[in-house]
Structure 1
Amino acid sequence: MGFERFVASDEAEYSFEVGGESVTYHISSLDELRIIGYMHSTEAPVLEDIVSHVSADDSFLDVGANVGIYAAVAGTVGASAVAVEPIQQNVVKARKNLELNCDDWETLPFAMGDGERVTQMDADTLDGIDDMASLGEGEVTVPMLDGDEMISRYLDGTPSVLKIDVEGAEGYVIEGLEATLRDDECRRVYLELHEGKIFGDETADSICETLSECGFEVSTLHRRRNEMGSEQSDEKFVVAAK
């Protein structure tokens, strides 16, 4: 689809190539297109690794899905995909994107954490980037479940692949997923660590140690780069594999 055609339309579909696969998004503004393009550029190694290591036999759980970029990419290779996202405006977008890319998909409108309660979240940011197509407006109250309970209630089994990007709450999420992570069916985890910004007493090293104790080998896959091409040393993706 040409750029001029997009500008002339209120809403459109736009595709990006990832590891030889085409993933398509429902786009409603130029800002939204710009940010999704930014994510595909700055996190390309992680998205390409998903295309290489996820297959139609996998069930993919995207925790902190936002508009469903990672779940959509998993869907292009045939995996079933579940997007966990607490912000309602993002859930609406994620549903449209998963419908475009996945044969078997679902959204769960919760925050994932270490227990069942309500919590406050800032709806105005996507991975630290402000104004993701006006998908949220300020601080909102959202329901939270721990991961093991959420999977028990809403999924048909243990997901084989997880992606977790929760803006500093990764320690709480990992704590609430302990039974899932110890399950042999769970074989791969993509985790963004926000070093120096992690809530509570956990650190990036302690979270990686927990993954190791659950049977994973953990390695750094990618450090995010900013728009100038420099590494942002406080944000990195690790991959944990069995």
Structure 2
Amino acid sequence: MSSERRTPAYLPQKFFELCSDEGVLNALVDAKSYVSHNVNPIRELSKIYYDWKGGTQAIRIDGVTAEFDAESKNGGDIIRIMNKSEKFFLQDMLSELNETDVFYDIGANIGIFSCFAAQKLENGHLVSFEPYPPNVNQLEKNILYNTTDSNFTLFDIALSNSDGTIEFSSPDKHPGHQTGNISPSGQSIDIQATTGDKLVSNKSLPQPTVVKIDVEGSEPFVIEGLEDTLKSEACRVLYCEIHLPREDGGRPSVLDYGETKESMLNKIQDMGFNIEHMAERGPEIQIKAKKQI
């Protein structure tokens, strides 16, 4: 069920349209899905509580606890949602990371992966990439709740397939919004971009051992600019979210960058990875790929 308009008068009208187009049973299924995603009293009560409480919130996954700002104005509600929607990959990442690993979080947003990784990398290093200024400020704040500034590097740039200035758009100016992208649609800002291979080859960054990529459709550009680094034997695990077209066209997809789901999987395998896990979440495909070492 579309969520473009959520006024009380609109919803019954939309339901009857669905009944006419799809039949009553399918309309009821769509209505149930809409309510479960948009009408969540527990989530609303949690938001009210944390906004009143302020300070930080502790989130625990498989014995590892990370701290984040709690208030919704600082993305605290987004962190609580991502804790559930990204649970499998968070758990798997924590099981894969060693204390000496170098973890690249590409498309770090406000840091749910970065902060949990920071808790595991006692003698390793965290490198977070996030170009959107409202996210960058909150990301750094959240990371510092979980490690010292000597254990991480934060780049407020986008990784792509070339150097230069590119346009970045986001429909929301609050930290934590998850559909910002480098393909402008609507208001945009200029940001700097570079390739991951350049940063590694000129010794600006250490070679990663575990990489996570979630960049709202521009995965092909990130992987193209990081290909040599990903091919290295040292890089043993890759988590990547492949973004296919959304019905509402609300963000770019890999098709806008000349790729398909199949071609992306082939690229990952050609770099020496085996696809160990693949899960579809609507138009997003979550991939875990690992090398046999």
TM-score with structure 2 length normalisation?
A: 0.71
Q: Choose the corresponding residue for 2:58, options 1, 12, 15.
A: 15
1:124 aligns with 2:171: yes
The SS at the match of 2:90 is helix
Q: Which residue type is aligned with residue 137 of structure 2?
A: V
**Larger Rg over CA atoms:** 2
Distance 2:239 2:51 in 1: 35
1:89-168 → structure 2 map (5 Å cutoff): 89-103=134-148, 104-124=151-171, 126-128=177-179, 138-153=187-202, 155-168=204-217
Tell me which moved more, 212-221 or 87-96: 212-221
Q: Which residue type is aligned with residue 266 of structure 2?
A: E
1:31-46 → structure 2 map (5 Å cutoff): 32-46=75-89
Deviation at 1:30? 5.7
Aligned residues: 225
Q: Contact 2:129–2:154 at 8 Å: present in 1 too?
A: yes
Distance 2:241 2:47 in 1: 32
Q: Contact 1:25–1:100 at 8 Å: present in 2 too?
A: yes
Instruction: In structure 2, list runs of 5 or more residues that go unmatched.
Output: 1-45, 181-185, 246-252
Q: Contact 1:112–1:144 at 8 Å: present in 2 too?
A: yes
Q: Which has the higher contact order (CA 8 A, sep 6+)?
A: 1
Q: Contact 2:114–2:126 at 8 Å: present in 1 too?
A: yes
Distance 2:137 2:194 in 1: 20
Distance 1:96 1:146 in 2: 25
The SS at the match of 1:184 is coil
Distance 1:43 1:156 in 2: 27
Fraction of identical pairs, as percent = 27
Deviation at 1:127? 3.0
Q: Which residue type is aligned with residue 96 of structure 2?
A: H
Match of 1:229 in 2: none
Deviation at 1:206? 1.1
Deviation at 1:153? 4.3
Distance 1:142 1:31 in 2: 22
TM-score with structure 1 length normalisation?
A: 0.85
The 1:21–1:221 alpha-carbon spacing in structure 2 relative to 1, beyond 3 Å, is: farther
1:26 aligns with 2:75: no
Distance 1:138 1:72 in 2: 30
Q: Which residue type is aligned with residue 165 of structure 2?
A: V
The 1:30–1:186 alpha-carbon spacing in structure 2 relative to 1, beyond 3 Å, is: same
Distance 1:43 1:223 in 2: 12
Q: Contact 1:63–1:163 at 8 Å: present in 2 too?
A: yes
Q: Which residue type is aligned with residue 219 of structure 1?
A: E
Distance 1:215 1:116 in 2: 26
Match of 1:170 in 2: 219
The 1:87–1:36 alpha-carbon spacing in structure 2 relative to 1, beyond 3 Å, is: same
Distance 1:204 1:24 in 2: 35
The SS at the match of 1:47 is helix
The SS at the match of 1:37 is helix
